[in-house]
């Protein structure tokens, strides 16, 4: 079947369920269980033989890190509801206690599978010359090297802690990893219990000479207990790792938001323990002591036969073994930018331009701001910052602009989870440079991605605007698929300015010409567009919706999609993560198909295309990009944007390249069934499975074409240029 045939193929026959099977709350999948299903898909890449070995190790580490964050935020929140006696039910009708029970069962299966996958990967690593050692496998030369390593690089940062009435149990931070010991003094057989916290600032795995053999840090510590506890011998030991409640609550009436967040970050570090992993078969006395001191219950303890702290496996993805990783890929510089000798303003003036990251380099966004900072004709820059890198070139460009006398306004979102401290540092750096820094709203996160540059050109002021679906983060932009839309359209410039005025002055924007924004107009606009497509279908026209995002769980949006399906609208969704919609049920969602793509790059862009009565693809389609997923928080409790792209080339790029390739993908796709299971077909022996990631790496985008624009740029579905 060709890709074009795939896009035209009929949907799978819907299944029939009794009315009670999908009525009321049962028309939704549970959010938390759907997230766990996503992490199962991530873990499955760790056992996918089509994925290079070290990339499989990376996927395993990612699945462990994901699960940690899930516990510290989502599970922590459910536990708090249970403690408060709050019987608030989920959209699918489950109480917090019911959800915790189901999460616990599924997550424990997931963690056991992680161990099984690691055991297989470890054998494959050894077969490829990468070995994880134990103390019993060390040679005399190894021991000599490790003695020097321990003395000079580990011993100075350790704090061995005896546990007795004079030495209280130490504080263990979130994700803290420790070695717990039962010791006996050789001289008089006096017994001692001790904790040896392993500092997070040192590597978990010690690289042996040659860089292909590694010793876990806990093994190194056990090898040198005589240096830490002279005169004692080990009578029993285990490792354990804790996760703490990491949600942050901020007072609504906070007078100084920065100081309030600094205080809240200190509270987070000491949040209640919500899960503890401990070595299976740990000495009963030390296990009981740890549980008592950390106030954890048996159902919060996970006994591990294998590796504790699997997130640390990312250290084994070795730069020296590129042969076991994805082939190298260099992002493209758009031809149109090259045609204008790197002048971003000239390239944007030519016509709207859409860049598809990471296939086209994020350096163009940085160049846009660097050029603005250095240009004497630029008067003002306004920028939102949700997440960015530690040494952010974006922040550097804004500081340069402010120091050169330009008017710079930066909206720094302090509530970006786990980036709060970094954003506080960035905001102070900007203030020192002379930028005007604002923090938006206390009750809403500002998740919109907007940058505006006001430039004097002759007698006029021209506004150049960048709208993104992802963060202004050059590191994640190498692996996240996102869109950057550059335009000099005056209407979009005016809309962006009104959004910044809303953020800095709380003035609700009126008469927006293109943009819809949360929490004011985005959700009503989206529901209106879905309803309009349903009306086209009822009138006998081709109703069709293609959409792509990270999560779909907002009940009103899902119900609108159900209604459109019942009206005859053909709906195809690419949802990487959480999906609360049940596709393929007769009488409810006959015409809805949902797939998830998990592969080399993390799908992150948000797109929605409406056939507008003409089907897809079509020149008359309405095509939007957004910073918002279809979740309650994005549509009601955040500042987000929805932008309609009206340039025909940009529309064709989104519909006929990006969306068509995502829908046609076979190699990385999972299809969601009516029962909530995700299935995929990877037939053995077939090496020609279509991969959208490979397609994007090999083919330039439509709107970035320049003097080479006459070349045939591949599209997967017919659409106008």
Q: CA 10 → CA 7, 118, 589, 655, distances in Å? A: 9, 40, 14, 19
The yes-or-no verdict on residue 260 having pLDDT over 50 is: no
| The predicted structure's pLDDT at residue 200 | 87
At residue 321 the predicted structure's pLDDT band, cuts being 50, 70 and 90, is: very high
For 670, list phi and psi in degrees, rounded to 5: -115, 135
Q: 158 phi and psi, to 5 degrees?
A: -85, 150
pLDDT score, position 463? 98
- How high is the pLDDT of residue 256? 45
| Res. 440 pLDDT band, cuts 50 70 90 | confident
- Is 447 designated active site? yes
Which one has a higher pLDDT value, 554 or 413? 554
Selected catalytic residue, list 237, 356, 447, 604: 447
Contacts (Cβ under 8 Å, ≥6 apart) of 675:
none
Residue 1: pLDDT above 50? no
pLDDT(254) > 70:
no
pLDDT, tens digit, 9 for 90 and up, residues 262-278: 454 454 445 789 999 99
Check: CB of residue 552 under 8 Å from CB of residue 88: no
- Overall residue count recorded for the chain in this entry: 721
- Among 1-5, 430-434, 470-474, 622-626, whose mean pLDDT is lowest? 1-5
pLDDT of res. 364 = 96
CA atoms within 13 A on the CB side of 112: 9
User: Is-contact 500 382, C-beta < 8 A?
Assistant: yes
According to the model, what pLDDT value does residue 406 have? 96
At 377, the pLDDT band (50, 70, 90 cuts) reads very high
User: For residue 505, is pLDDT > 90?
Assistant: no
What distance in Å separates the CA atoms of residue 95 and residue 218, rounded to the nearest whole number? 40
Q: Determine the pLDDT at residue 15.
A: 67
CB of 514 closer than 8 Å to CB of 539 = no
Average model confidence (pLDDT) for the chain?
A: 89
Largest CA distance in the chain: 92
Residue 237 has pLDDT above 80, yes or no: yes
Nearest to 488 by CA among 466, 515, 519: 466
Is the pLDDT confidence value at 247 over 90?
A: no
In this model, does residue 19 exceed pLDDT 70?
Answer: no
Task: Report helix, strand or coil for 408.
Answer: strand
Average pLDDT over residues 513-541: 97
C-beta separation of 469 from 458 below 8 A: no
pLDDT of the residue at 5: 53
Q: How far is 248 from 417, CA to CA, in rounded Å?
A: 8
* Banded model confidence at residue 251, pLDDT cuts 50, 70, 90: very low
Binning pLDDT at 50, 70 and 90, where does residue 8 land?
Answer: low
* pLDDT score for 717: 62
What pairing do the DSSP bridges indicate for beta strands 273-279 and 232-244? antiparallel
pLDDT of residue 209: 94
pLDDT at 571 over 70: yes
Asked whether residue 250 carries a pLDDT value surpassing 60, the answer given is no
pLDDT score, position 506: 78
Q: Determine the pLDDT at residue 428.
A: 87
- Residue pLDDT, tens place only, 287-316: 999 999 999 999 899 999 999 999 999 999
Q: Read off the pLDDT band of 52 (50, 70, 90).
A: very high
In 3-state terms, what secondary structure has residue 395?
A: helix
pLDDT digits (tens, 9 = 90+) for 133-167: 999 999 999 999 999 999 999 999 999 998 877 77
In angstroms, the CA 542 to CA 705 distance is: 31
> Residue 718 has what pLDDT?
46
Percentage of the chain surpassing pLDDT 90? 74
Q: What is the pLDDT of residue 233?
A: 93
Characterize the bridge pairing of strands 606-610 and 622-626: antiparallel
Predicted confidence (pLDDT) at residue 507 exceeds the cutoff of 90 = no
What is the distance of C-alpha 247 from the center of its chain? Answer: 17
Percentage of the chain surpassing pLDDT 70?
90
Least confident interval from 32-41, 248-257, 558-567 = 248-257
pLDDT: which is higher, 271 or 326: 326
For residue 85, pLDDT beyond 90: no
Is it the case that residue 715 has pLDDT exceeding 90? no
Question: Which range (48-62, 119-133, 150-164, 522-536) has the least confidence?
Answer: 150-164
Lowest mean pLDDT among 213-222, 239-248, 521-530: 239-248
Beta strands in 113-158 (DSSP E): 131-132
Closest CA to 197 of 219, 215, 173: 173
pLDDT of 257 above 70: no
């Amino acid at each position: 079947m060709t890709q074009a045939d795939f896009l035209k193929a009929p949907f799978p026959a819907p299944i029939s369920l009794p009315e009670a099977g999908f009525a009321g709350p049962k028309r939704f999948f549970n959010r938390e269980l759907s997230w766990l299903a996503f992490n199962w898909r991530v873990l499955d890449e760790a056992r996918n033989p089509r994925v290079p070995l070290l990339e499989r190790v990376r996927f395993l580490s990612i699945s462990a890190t994901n699960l940690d964050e899930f516990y510290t935020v989502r599970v922590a929140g459910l536990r708090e509801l249970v403690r408060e006696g709050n019987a608030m039910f989920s959209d699918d009708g489950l109480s917090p206690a019911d959800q915790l029970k189901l999460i616990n069962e599924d997550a424990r299966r997931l963690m056991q599978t992680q161990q099984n996958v690691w055991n297989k990967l470890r054998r494959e690593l050894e077969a490829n010359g990468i070995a994880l050692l134990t103390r019993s496998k060390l040679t005399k030369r190894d021991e000599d090297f490790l003695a020097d390593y321990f003395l000079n690089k580990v011993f100075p940062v350790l704090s061995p802690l005896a546990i007795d009435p004079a030495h209280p149990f130490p504080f263990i931070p979130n994700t803290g990893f420790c070695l717990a010991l039962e010791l006996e003094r050789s001289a008089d057989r006096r017994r001692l219990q001790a904790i040896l916290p392993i500092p997070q600032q040192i590597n978990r795995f010690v690289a042996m000479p040659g860089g292909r053999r590694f010793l876990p840090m806990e093994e190194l510590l056990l090898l040198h207990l005589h240096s830490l506890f002279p005169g004692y011998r080990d009578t029993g030991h285990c490792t354990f790792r804790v996760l703490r409640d990491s949600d942050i609550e901020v007072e609504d009436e906070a007078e100084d938001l920065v100081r309030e967040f600094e205080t809240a970050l200190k509270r987070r570090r000491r949040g209640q323990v919500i899960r503890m992993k401990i070595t299976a078969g740990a000495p009963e006395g030390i296990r009981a002591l740890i549980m008592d001191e950390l106030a954890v219950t048996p159902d919060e303890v996970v006994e591990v036969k294998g590796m504790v702290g699997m997130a640390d496996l990312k250290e084994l993805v070795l730069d020296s073994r590129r042969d076991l990783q994805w082939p190298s890929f260099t992002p493209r510089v758009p031809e149109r930018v090259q045609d204008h000798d790197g002048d971003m303003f000239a390239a944007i003036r030519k016509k709207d331009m859409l860049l598809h990251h990471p296939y086209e380099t994020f350096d163009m966004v940085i160049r846009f701001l660097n050029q603005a900072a250095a240009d004497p004709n630029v008067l003002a820059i306004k920028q939102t910052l949700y997440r960015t890198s530690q040494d952010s070139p974006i922040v550097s460009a804004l500081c340069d602009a402010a120091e050169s006398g330009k008017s710079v306004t930066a909206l720094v979102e302090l509530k970006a989870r786990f980036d709060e401290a970094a954003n506080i540092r960035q905001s102070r750096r900007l203030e020192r440079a002379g930028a005007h820094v604002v923090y938006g709203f206390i009750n809403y996160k500002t998740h919109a991605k907007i940058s505006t540059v006001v430039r004097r050109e002759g007698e006029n002021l021209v506004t150049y605007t960048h709208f993104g679906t992802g963060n202004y983060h050059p590191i994640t932009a190498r692996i996240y698929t996102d869109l950057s839309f550059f335009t000099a359209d005056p209407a979009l410039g005016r809309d962006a300015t009104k959004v910044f005025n809303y953020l800095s002055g709380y003035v609700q924007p009126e008469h927006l010409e293109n943009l819809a924004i949360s929490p004011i107009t985005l959700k009503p606009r989206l529901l209106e567009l879905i309803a309009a497509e349903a009306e086209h279908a009822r009138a006998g026209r081709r109703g069709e919706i293609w959409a792509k995002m990270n999560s779909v769980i907002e009940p009103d949006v899902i119900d609108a999609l159900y209604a459109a399906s019942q009206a005859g609208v053909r709906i195809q969704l690419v949802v990487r993560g959480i999906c609360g919609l049940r596709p393929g049920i007769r009488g409810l969602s006959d015409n809805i198909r949902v797939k998830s793509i998990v592969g080399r790059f993390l799908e992150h862009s948000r797109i929605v295309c409406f056939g507008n009565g003409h089907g897809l693809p079509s020149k008359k389609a309405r095509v939007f990009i957004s910073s918002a997923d279809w979740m309650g928080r994005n549509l009601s409790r955040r500042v987000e944007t929805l932008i309609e792209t009206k340039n025909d080339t940009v529309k064709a790029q989104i519909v006929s390249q990006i969306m068509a390739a995502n829908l046609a993908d076979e190699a990385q796709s999972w299809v969601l069934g009516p029962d909530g299971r995700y299935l995929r077909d990877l037939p053995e022996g077939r090496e020609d499975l279509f991969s959208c990631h490979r397609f994007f790496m090999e083919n330039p985008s439509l709107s970035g074409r320049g003097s080479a624009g006459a070349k045939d740029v591949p599209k997967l579905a017919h659409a106008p240029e």
